[in-house]
A and B are shown apart, each in its own frame.
With several copies, the nearest count.
Chain A
Amino acid sequence: MSMQDAVARFVRDGDTVVIEGFTHLISFAAAHEIIRQRRRDLTLCRLTPDLIYDQMIAAGCARKVVFSWAGNPGVGSLHAFRRAVEGRALEIEEYSHFGMVARFAAGAARLPFWPLRDYAGTDLPRANPRIKAVTCPYTGEALATVPALNPDVTIVHAQRADAQGNTQIWGLLGVQKEAAFASRRVIVVVEELVDESVIRSDPNRTVIPALIVDAVVVEPWGAHPSYAQGYYDRDNDFYVAWEAISREPSKLEDYLDAHVYGVSGRAAYLEKQPGLTGRLAAKAQFCAGVNYGF
């Protein structure tokens, strides 16, 4: 399915949307298509809103952001996010990383909450009343709890999948598996479509099974400026450049006009940036296979 069709069919105004990936495998291609289709009132959930949600916030897609660390990794601030929050134009719901991971774990297991040892002595429960506590029926001790997160739609970028949606990921896994299982609808975006036989040759690498996937979109370089281990490196220069772009609302508008609204899709996005693929393409460093015989 094309990204345009997948977003048109499965992402709706007012949805709770998750585009996960911890630094690795962040589907910017999906975010840009959501911006182009002008989705509104979205509740955007991610551990790290990152540039992807900074762009969606600037484009007016977001009503609320649920997160645990909102910065530009190794660079500084997410300025569109900061302007919206400091101007109280955006609702936020804030956890720590462990809290967000636990919310996805509960959602994936279809439990209403998840227990964790956390938050004692912090002001986070004061800032977020959804962080509660439960008493252990064995020891009597109090444990923190977070509520399950069950998105309407989760979009996962991955290295490869077959046509049915059996999806394999290596390198950093983040919470991609939990977010997908927690979600009502799942869109998988891959660097490469492979034959089912490739998936079946190494079943331990499968992270998401076809039976929970609604759409498979093939979008090479769809994670740029994030990265895909074994395919292309992270575009650290762009993350640094975002500091200046996002600081100036006008510059941010120009960026969206040129690289999001101004292109039809990922292919055109790449054509606009000659030399990008050459600069970031991954070197080959293959591991050996293992024996599945008996």
Chain B
Amino acid sequence: MMAIVAARELRDGEVVFVGIGLPNLACNLARRTHAPHLVLIYESGAVGAVPERLPVSIGDPALVTGSLMVCGMADVFQLFLQNGRIEVGFLGGAQVDRFGNINTTVIGPYERPKVRLPGSGGAAEIAIHARRTLIISKLSPRAFPERVDFVTSPGQHVAKVITDKGVLERDETNGEMVLAQLYPGVDASDVKASVGWELSSRPHLDRVDPPSQVDLQLLRDVLDPKRLYLKS
């Protein structure tokens, strides 16, 4: 469901900086449905990739074979990202806070971490340079604290947070992430109970349309038949 909602956020022809997992599924779903001209760029240097199998890593050889361009990483970060050519960037994280800041670095203090997470990778610069960033993350009070323990990626360009129960978006008046859409059968209170701060809501809450048969069939039978990333 998160992949389907994420796919709906992508407009045809956009240049998307893709991560592995659900973002990759969302992009390839969008490419096969309403956005055939989406340009997928992976931080590994593959531009316009058309992976014939679901890439397990950001540097999968299937991203190279048949892509439009392969360039070194200095070009990826300087000529594409810093140059401002990326319209949408996907991010995930162990912690997402009230202002859309993301933590993928440490739980606890940096010098004496409770849990050491992988770190930024390209997440810091994606959050800074992509025009619009979309976060995909499952809801839980621990994952959505008032403030993240460490700001790996600043939240200023976060447009939406796509969760497993609904979608949060930025309230332009105060910059806070607020509840905007609910998935079918989910109640606003479920979402608020899964967030570590006093979550506000849009005056009018949209209902997310249920996934179409086409979307589900594509995801389950074509894009992720082995259920590498799809849980249901």
Contacts and interface: CB of A to CB of B under 8 A. Distances in A.
Q: Are chains A and B native binding partners rather than an unrelated pairing? A: yes
Interface of A: 22-24, 47-48, 67-71, 73-74, 77, 81-82, 85-86, 88, 94-99, 101-102, 104-105, 108-111, 116-124, 126-127, 166, 170-175, 177-178, 181, 196, 199-201, 203-204, 206, 209-212, 227, 229, 233-234, 236, 239, 282, 285, 292-294
A179 to B, nearest CB: 11
Given A70-B119, A109-B82, A101 B68 contact: no
Interface in B87-137: 101, 105, 110, 112-125, 128-129
A116 B68 contact: no
Given A117-B129, A204-B70, A209 B65 contact: no
A203 B151 CA distance: 36
B44 A172 contact: yes
Contacts of B114: 86
Contacts, number: 219
Contacts of A77: 118
Given A74-B21, A98-B77, A85 B121 contact: no
Interface string B150-163: 11111010000000
The 3 A-B pairs of least Cβ separation, nearest first, read A23-B59, A121-B154, A71-B118
Interface string B30-50: 000000000100011111101
A82 B21 CA distance: 22
Contacts of B47: 203, 206, 209, 211
B66 to A, nearest CB: 5
B61 interface: yes
B68 A209 contact: yes
Nearest to A282: B61
A203 B69 contact: yes
Nearest to A210: B68
27 contacts: A23-B59, A71-B117, A74-B56, A85-B113, A96-B120, A96-B122, A97-B43, A101-B73, A116-B82, A119-B124, A119-B128, A123-B105, A123-B151, A172-B44, A172-B64, A174-B72, A177-B75, A199-B69, A203-B69, A204-B70, A206-B68, A209-B69, A210-B48, A211-B47, A233-B61, A292-B64, A294-B61
A292 B69 CA distance: 13
Contact of A175 (B72, B81, B121): B72
Given A122-B152, A206-B69, A24 B59 contact: yes
B116 A85 contact: yes
Contacts of B75: 177
Nearest to B37: A164
A44 to B, nearest CB: 15
B205 interface: no
B138 interface: no
A77 B119 CA distance: 11
A59 B135 CA distance: 37
A171 B105 contact: no
A108 B78 contact: yes
Contacts of B73: 22, 47, 97, 101, 173-175
B66 A22 contact: no
Contact of B72 (A73, A173, A200, A229): A173
A145 to B, nearest CB: 14
B110 A73 contact: no
Contacts of A67: 119
B20 interface: yes
B222 interface: no
Contact of A96 (B58, B71, B124): B124
Nearest to B151: A123
Contact of A23 (B60, B70, B110): B60
Contacts of A200: 48, 50, 66-68
A139 to B, nearest CB: 15
B82 A23 contact: no
